[in-house]
Amino acid sequence: MSLREILLWPDTRLKRPCAPVDDVAAVGALVSDLFETMYAAPGRGLAAPQVGAMVRVFVMDAGWKDGEMTPLALINPRLLAASEETAVGGEGCLSIPGVTAPVRRATRVRMGFTDMTGAAQERDFEGAEAIVAQHEYDHLDGLVHFDRLDPDAAASLMADYDALRA
Confidence label for 64 from pLDDT (cuts 50, 70 and 90): confident
Catalytic residue among 36, 84, 129, 136: 136
- Provide the whole-model pTM: 0.95
- Reduced 3-state DSSP string for the chain: CCCCCCCCCCCHHHHCCCECCCCHHHHHHHHHHHHHHHHHCCCCEEEHHHHCCCECEEEECCCCCCCCCCCEEEEEEEEEEECCCEEEEEECCCCCCCCCEEEEEECEEEEEEECCCCCEEEEEEECHHHHHHHHHHHHHCCCCHHHHCCHHHHHHHHHHHHHHHC
CATH of domain 12-165: 3.90.45.10
Q: Which amino acid is at 77?
A: P
**Nearest of 79, 15, 26 to residue 50 by alpha carbon:** 15
Q: How confident is the model at residue 166 (pLDDT cuts 50, 70, 90)?
A: confident
More confident residue, 87 or 1: 87
Q: How far is 72 from 76, CA to CA, in rounded Å?
A: 13
Residue 68 has pLDDT above 90, yes or no: no
Whether 107 has a pLDDT exceeding 90, the answer reads yes
Q: Is 136 a catalytic residue?
A: yes
What are the residue ranges spanned by the domains of the chain? 12-165
